[in-house]
Structure 1
Amino acid sequence: MAQQGTTLRNTPGLIMASVLVTFLLVLGLSGHSMAFVPIGGGASTHVSISGTALLQKVAETCRAVAEEAGYEFEPTGNSAEELVQACLGPTATGEVSGAKFHSALQEIYTQNGLVDRDFVNSAPHHFNSEAFIEGRRLITEGVVAIKANIRSENFKAARETLGRVLHTLQDFYSHSNWVELGNTEPYINLIRPDLPLENLADKETATCSDCASGTCPNPILPNILKEKKLTSGYMGIFSDDKPKGKCSHGGAGDLTGTSVPRGGISKDERHSHNAAFHDVAVKAATAATLQLLQDIRFAAGDKDFLRMVGIARSSVVCFVIDTTGSMRDDIDEARSVVYEIIDSKAGTQDEPSEYILVPFNDPGFGPMTRTSDPEKMKSEISKLTAKGGDDEPEMCLSGLQLALTGAPASSHIYVFTDATAKDYDLKDTIVALIRTTKSTVSFFMTGRSGRRRRSLRAGSFEDYKELALASGGQAIQVSKGQLPEATDVILDTSTSALVTVLQRARNPGKQETFPFMLDESLKNITIYVTGTSLSFTLTNPAGVSQNQNEANGKLGTIKTAGNLWRFRLNADKQAGTWKININSKKPYTLKVTGQSTLTFIYDFVESFQGPHPGYAVLSGRPQAGLPATLMLRAMGRRGPSSLSVGAVSLVTVSGSETVSNGTVTDLGNGDILVTVDTVPEGEFVVGFEGTDKVSNSEFQRQSTTQMSVSKVNIQAVVDSSAEPGKPFKLPFSVRTQGSGGQYSIQAKNDRQIPMEYPKSLTLTTGQYVNATLTIKPPSNIPSGTDVTVTLEAKSASGADSNYAVLRVSVVTKITDFVPPRCDVVSVLADDCPQDVSQCEPFQWEFLANLTDGNGTGIDKITLQQGKGNLTLTPLDSPLVQANYTASCCSQIVEFTAVDKVGNVGKCYHSIVRSAGPPTSTLSLPLWLCLLVSALSRL
């Protein structure tokens, strides 16, 4: 029977099949043993712990979504692609890419690892030096921010905070004596701030005995073990001082480890002297991570939890539309395209997972509309009307900035305008956001391009072309009458598993032949050429050719609109090396795309030192004069094992082509570290070649976003969330390896919130200069809003610059941490027969009262287990009555109640009278049975 008058509780449950799926997925994620060190920091990482828990929780959530929707969740293999395919269910027809899932996980892992760089000397971030109250406060504030961000659909901000919170939570089990005290389960009080932290050792209490060798199995004093006192190791990065008698963290980076009592209690890595404690700590940290993820999942709901971790139909349709008086025809065409996408792709894998709309005019822009509901998108875009000025400069880049900060990373954004940009000063900010988000921006320009700039601060259509090229997008210039013929590009790119095979630009134009490799996995291959007064000839591996004048040829079909040629290849294309020869004296661009799950994701990284050295993702451009380092993940049709990695290089897109090959270090399971000693001058992209083992064919891929190096570097860290109405200080540092002198500082944010910061800094070569940016979010800003701040430092000549892009979450401070309460009123199950086989005609009933003690109120109640009917009285009442009725065949009920600030409680009851023998078993090898059994006890 359920306990009467108890707080709703968290009772995780797994079935054998989901444990097996999770085990297989974890094998695909990491072949390493687990340890508490940052990403890239050794043979094993925090990633192992986070990844195990994340994949298990994702599999559980996918199974729950599938059961509710009435389809089977049955991954065909252990790759991310196959997990995403199974999770999306019947709509996931066609190619399904795991790239967004991998990218989302990578954001979590990256922020987890950065805690060891950015907060190396912060005891609370690592639960060092007995900072238990402060460490839990970081977890509490972080979880509040995560839940608020998810409610506001700011999933990237939620992922970044989640990574940092998980690091702190996991470190508790390695850095404290929790497992030495005999505990094997997580300390639930760490994620339940309504419960006290009990039995903490005070500052005057000695906790460790001296260990001269530094490798004693358990130096915790006997009285501490007997009294169950909680302590943690002191860590000294710059000093060996610690309170008398206290334990040290230990290890080479801890100076206190040589002060009596010597040694340390850290279980970060597995050694012979601490193997047993290390293994228990890993298991407890994994289980604690699962508990935290479950709490977030219940607060967010299954759909938004999966969106947070990057599982959704991968296409996002984002329109930025000029609404001035001359744009009437363009708005009609954009509306028509949206309707066609919604109607033609409904119920398929290519149905967009999200729609985004940002209008702009003069002087206004926005608001941004984001929705996963296609009917709402139809409604919003149908409301757009052309009004105001004619084709004079508009606030185009302000609208684009809003889209780049609001849309998910790697989105395709389409800008419709017939005027130049009035807010030309945002151009550098737009470039920084493009590089950070890796989003692709395409412009549909229907105005006159020959107009001269009215001033140096006015924009031109050439700026749009430069931004499109920088992002890997298209700059399509057509008359208003030709616009419907050009928007096929949107239909091409608003699709799943889109990859770029090749992109090149020439300015000035010249005759040149561009070879590119097409592989067997590619489908819907399209070649785009933009320019004027040009000719081209495409030749396949067999020597068959087709030129620009053949609308329907042996190789495919060609459509033209304005400066765009769109060449769609026939479905029976040949794998191998193709060539396209382009001849023009005027500027032109070339892009080859297709659909395939053979792809890669990457980040430029830099190494860092300290107690736990590793790699950190760069927030700006790589440093000039140094080798460029990339962390790259390769994805095959059946995971990383279904491909082999060939060359990885940095390739210039414009001008004379330069290729700088990298040294590839295979870290296993698709993770690759690449070092490029000589970086090309100017803008470059990442080229990737390999072999698809499924078809035994070679392939090539290219990143879309252009990058370059800089001698300037900006370091900035967001260490907490901001509060509405209160100033938030963001410290930053700037350094140059080039010439010293005065550097201008510019900061912008996407919410138009005033900021204070020094407009210039005087730099000395090789030395960081510290400064502070202060931003004060308005008091009425919604909790969960994230503010994207772009910082830029530029030399006096303007020849060199760099940027940092940061997200500040604005979260209202809350004091209600008590979850809703469940009081069982009655259970009527006497009619249920003991023989389960006779259960069908009979029903049972469960009645409970739900209250939220602190008065914020219950926001939602969701049935998690059970196939019966749950009815509720109005949620806005102080007391909510829950009545559940079900067949006696469905013997467990579990539902969650979430209050308005995200606290989660659970009501659970079972009428199972005896466990009995299992109804079915899986035939598994003994070793696998034992491993599955161990995983099921996490």
Structure 2
Amino acid sequence: MEQTRRALQELWETWYGDIPGWVPSYTMILAVNEIAEANALVDEDQENGELHFDGESFMLAQERLVKLSDQAVSLANAGDYIGARKSIGMALHTLQDFYAHSNWVESLIKKGAPDQIYPGLGYPNTMIYPLGKNAKTCTDCRALSDVFGCGKCDDNLRSVDLTSGYYSGEPAFQKTSSAKCSHGGPLDGSTTYDLDWWDTIIYVGQGINKDSSTCLFSPHRDLHYQAAMISIAATKDWIDSRVYKRLPTRQSELLFGKEKETGSLLDPSAPTVWDFLKGAIQPHKRGMVVRATTLDHISHTVVVVDNVHEHGKVLARAAAGCRRRLYPLKLVQRDKQGVNFSNNGDTYGWEEIALATGGHLIQFAEDETAEVAAILDMVSQQNHVDILSVAGTGSDENPISEFFFPLDSSLESLVISTSGATSFKVFSPNGSPYDISSQKNITHMKRVGNTIALNFTSAAIPPPGFYRISLNSTANYTLSISGESPLSIVTFYFAQAGGRPQHEAFFPIPSFPIAGERAMIKSHIHGNFADGKFEFRTKGGVFIASQDTVEREGDFAESSATMFYGNSTAIPDGNFMVYFTGTDHTGHKFQRAVSPTMTGSKLQLKAPIIQRMTVGQPQKVTVGLTNLNSIPDTYDVFAVDSKDSFVKVSQQSIYLEPGKSGSFDAYFLPKPNSTIGISEIVFGAKGRVTKGNLSLQRYVLEAEHKPMSYSRVKYHQYANETSQLIDRLIMGKPR
């Protein structure tokens, strides 16, 4: 992950460093985080050697790099920048493992050559062929001399011929000879070991990995940093040549976070999206919406409300992710007198989903269709930070609800929007009504159906201070206050440890945090501030607890972002919001909200964090669940996926006593016309008595293996010709 961050930061300087006043933006930090996290996720798969260049898997690993680069370019051109970043990260793990797991670095040293990246690695015009099965590549060595010191394995390679270490547990790449190199370390069963006279395990064998700087895990530890530096250079070369330069300028800048995604459903350049939206909400075309049809609107998600299955709604919510609000649209019919006769009709649960993601359920009449896109442009502006996101229910007896919120000096625009309220008023810090009508620079206020939005331009933003807003509603309402600001929450998630020794990382937990436990929090805050802390609040805005145990780490990416980490206070039971509050660098109070509602649960789901599937081949995924409630319950279980490859679950429900665990199997059959790439699977279990739980898993859908075309390969590089290859590099002739 660190290699990836360093490589991209250096590439930013190459790509954008000559732009006056340029500094990394929070969208760039977000992009590099997504790439780095996808990189780390690959270590959850230790069964497929080509993901790590293990076991001389040069041909398959090379094809994987080419395939993922093509996939990243294709996804970026299609506007799926998140998917493209994940493809890049997955490829980079494989690319970087080449330098840690092969003997390329050692071969350069043996030949007295300067540091060089391996020519053609990850390029479609090059194929790398391994040594024969019986070729002898390593001799025995002792990685540890005793419990107090390291042994000597730095000279266990037999030649400069290109090889890589074998790692146990990868069935397609098992050792064919005891004289083949191993990965090495205490978790690698392909090495041999012995006991000393203290009965302490002393690892011996043929390990050559450079993953770390400790001899316990890495027999070639002394070359760890040199391998990392060459790996960073190779990372830069691959990203620049295989992705960045193959994209139009606009797509590359959006992919790597330099530019913001902008646009409108009314934009003539995107007529197909708008036409589909208009068609989907017309009554005579409602049949088009079979499941949970989602349409991207700038950086948020529009859902056409229809009577879809509950599982489809779960998938739509999961697809919204941690940075995307959901805006369900419901068509409200009117009678001939223009009176709504289905204003509070069945919304099929979309109201709750909008509330959970920080969006609004927008109900409107057919003659307001043309206005829907305009109000969506106001409420879902790109790069807006959330200042306040609340919801509640008014009544005839108590129609007024009031909330306080701070405006800080970093805000460059401001939007106040509400759904379900008939009107609202804003009050200044001194308590007097804020005269909205006198502000000439306000873009405008717009009302569509049950939704009101007020948009301030930069010149009209009220001065810093604490403001009060008063809503008038006798029904369910949602309220959102947001604005564009360099001070923002780039990422926030509850985390769990993952990876393997010397490849450890904290990954976002795939399901809900466990109520009553202290979960690990990880967050990156972009922008300048003097102090800050996290808080838990109810969706109604009621304070629950402060996160005093979360610590601030050093600034990341040259002070453009700060990382916070540490254990939270006890996770609340049920739904809650996360806020980050403090004082900005000018001394004004600020507040930022994490858009999606969090949920603490007493049901724990466990499933593989990453699952590789092959088109056309059936796959079984086993999902475990544990009842942490104090009472027994029956849980209805299900699975659903975004590529429609889910077939069935092994059982419909599971009964669990308190503290007991069970499992069910989900069966998938990726269809022949499925596209490769990362997709989402949602595994769910809902208690009939207690609250349920959901688990979002990602899986990699692999295309059917098709070797690279011989005509596409210009350079055929054989492992037993590595010495000649290095000689050509020394002479300045790469091939």
Q: Do both proteins adopt the same fold according to a TM-score greater than 0.5, normalized to the shorter chain?
A: yes
In structure 2, how many angstroms separate the alpha carbons of the residues matched to 1:155 and 1:702?
24
SS in 2 for 1:616: strand
SS in 2 for 1:80: coil
Post-superposition CA distance 1:78-97 (Å, at most 9, x none)? x422xxxxxxxxxxxxxxxx
Match of 2:212 among 269, 276, 280: 269
- The question of whether the paired residues in 2 share the 8 Å contact of 1:145 and 1:809 is answered with no
Residue 525 to residue 231, structure 1, CA distance change in 2 (3 Å): closer
Post-superposition CA distance 1:288-317 (Å, at most 9, x none)? 223332442278434444444344432354
In structure 2, how many angstroms separate the alpha carbons of the residues matched to 1:751 and 1:121?
24
Shift of 1:752: 4.3
Post-superposition CA distance 1:120-175 (Å, at most 9, x none)? 466554445xx122x65245225314413532534433332332332233223223
User: Is 1:278 paired with 2:224?
Assistant: yes
User: Is 1:507 paired with 2:393?
Assistant: yes
SS in 1 for 2:108: coil
- The question of whether the paired residues in 1 share the 8 Å contact of 2:407 and 2:590 is answered with yes
User: Is 1:56 paired with 2:10?
Assistant: yes
AA partner of residue 329 (structure 2)? F
Match of 1:150 among 38, 50, 73: 73
- The question of whether the paired residues in 1 share the 8 Å contact of 2:378 and 2:453 is answered with no
Match of 2:465 among 546, 555, 576: 576
Residue 797 to residue 451, structure 1, CA distance change in 2 (3 Å): farther
Post-superposition CA distance 1:257-303 (Å, at most 9, x none)? 64552795443333699775222111121122233324422784344
The more displaced of 424-433 and 379-388 is 379-388
Gap regions ≥5 residues in structure 1? 1-46, 64-72, 82-97, 318-337, 343-373, 454-458, 637-641, 823-851, 854-938
Shift of 1:540: 1.5
Q: Name 1:219's counterpart in structure 2.
A: 153
Q: Name 1:673's counterpart in structure 2.
A: 565
Q: Name 2:91's counterpart in structure 1.
A: 165
User: Is 1:467 paired with 2:353?
Assistant: yes
Q: Name 1:76's counterpart in structure 2.
A: 21
Q: Name 2:262's counterpart in structure 1.
A: 315
AA partner of residue 430 (structure 2)? A
User: Is 1:801 paired with 2:693?
Assistant: yes
In structure 2, how many angstroms separate the alpha carbons of the residues matched to 1:197 and 1:757?
42
In structure 1, how many angstroms separate the alpha carbons of the residues matched to 2:470 and 2:477?
12
Match of 1:623 among 498, 501, 514: 514
Match of 1:595 among 481, 484, 504: 484
Shift of 1:530: 3.1
Q: Name 1:378's counterpart in structure 2.
A: 271
AA partner of residue 465 (structure 2)? G
In structure 1, how many angstroms separate the alpha carbons of the residues matched to 2:680 and 2:183?
37
- The question of whether the paired residues in 1 share the 8 Å contact of 2:676 and 2:700 is answered with no
Match of 2:451 among 546, 564, 574: 564
Shift of 1:599: 0.7
- The question of whether the paired residues in 2 share the 8 Å contact of 1:413 and 1:441 is answered with yes
User: Is 1:606 paired with 2:496?
Assistant: yes
- The question of whether the paired residues in 2 share the 8 Å contact of 1:445 and 1:475 is answered with no
In structure 2, how many angstroms separate the alpha carbons of the residues matched to 1:254 and 1:383?
54
Q: Trace 1:401-416 onto structure 2 (pairs within 5 A).
A: 402-403=294-295, 407=296, 411-415=299-303
SS in 1 for 2:105: coil
Q: Name 2:317's counterpart in structure 1.
A: 431
In structure 1, how many angstroms separate the alpha carbons of the residues matched to 2:546 and 2:238?
44
Post-superposition CA distance 1:595-643 (Å, at most 9, x none)? 212111223321237413321122332233422333211111xxxxx33
Q: Name 2:412's counterpart in structure 1.
A: 523
Residue 391 to residue 465, structure 1, CA distance change in 2 (3 Å): farther
User: Is 1:208 paired with 2:121?
Assistant: no
- The question of whether the paired residues in 2 share the 8 Å contact of 1:433 and 1:805 is answered with no
Q: Name 1:701's counterpart in structure 2.
A: 592
Size of the aligned set, in residue pairs, is: 665
Match of 1:186 among 107, 111, 117: 117
TM-score normalised over the length of structure 1: 0.62
Q: Name 1:921's counterpart in structure 2.
A: none
Residue 262 to residue 766, structure 1, CA distance change in 2 (3 Å): farther
Shift of 1:767: 4.1
In structure 1, how many angstroms separate the alpha carbons of the residues matched to 2:472 and 2:278?
42
Shift of 1:251: 5.3
User: Is 1:109 paired with 2:43?
Assistant: no
Residue 805 to residue 712, structure 1, CA distance change in 2 (3 Å): same
Q: Name 2:163's counterpart in structure 1.
A: 230
AA partner of residue 105 (structure 2)? V
Q: Trace 1:818-857 onto structure 2 (pairs within 5 A).
A: none
In structure 2, how many angstroms separate the alpha carbons of the residues matched to 1:119 and 1:386?
43
Q: Trace 1:120-131 onto structure 2 (pairs within 5 A).
A: 120=46, 123-128=49-54, 131=55
Residue 162 to residue 178, structure 1, CA distance change in 2 (3 Å): same
User: Is 1:287 paired with 2:233?
Assistant: yes
- The question of whether the paired residues in 1 share the 8 Å contact of 2:180 and 2:206 is answered with no
SS in 1 for 2:614: coil
Residue 305 to residue 427, structure 1, CA distance change in 2 (3 Å): same
Residue 461 to residue 486, structure 1, CA distance change in 2 (3 Å): same
Q: Name 2:732's counterpart in structure 1.
A: none
Residue 259 to residue 394, structure 1, CA distance change in 2 (3 Å): same
Residue 55 to residue 768, structure 1, CA distance change in 2 (3 Å): farther
Q: Name 2:723's counterpart in structure 1.
A: none
Post-superposition CA distance 1:711-770 (Å, at most 9, x none)? 1314134444533xx224252322223367754332333454562442436476454636
AA partner of residue 426 (structure 1)? G
Shift of 1:519: 0.7
SS in 2 for 1:683: strand
AA partner of residue 729 (structure 1)? Q
Gap regions ≥5 residues in structure 2? 110-114, 194-200, 335-339, 557-561, 717-735
- The question of whether the paired residues in 2 share the 8 Å contact of 1:233 and 1:266 is answered with no
Q: Name 1:398's counterpart in structure 2.
A: 291
- The question of whether the paired residues in 1 share the 8 Å contact of 2:357 and 2:597 is answered with yes
SS in 1 for 2:107: coil
Post-superposition CA distance 1:892-930 (Å, at most 9, x none)? xxxxxxxxxxxxxxxxxxxxxxxxxxxxxxxxxxxxxxx
- The question of whether the paired residues in 2 share the 8 Å contact of 1:246 and 1:261 is answered with no
User: Is 1:745 paired with 2:637?
Assistant: yes
User: Is 1:197 paired with 2:90?
Assistant: no
In structure 2, how many angstroms separate the alpha carbons of the residues matched to 1:476 and 1:292?
45
In structure 2, how many angstroms separate the alpha carbons of the residues matched to 1:794 and 1:443?
26
Match of 2:56 among 132, 140, 144: 132
Post-superposition CA distance 1:97-137 (Å, at most 9, x none)? x33x3333222211222233x23466554445xx122x652
TM-score normalised over the length of structure 2: 0.77
- The question of whether the paired residues in 1 share the 8 Å contact of 2:649 and 2:664 is answered with no
AA partner of residue 621 (structure 1)? F
Shift of 1:461: 2.8
- The question of whether the paired residues in 1 share the 8 Å contact of 2:535 and 2:543 is answered with no
Identity across aligned pairs (percent)? Answer: 21
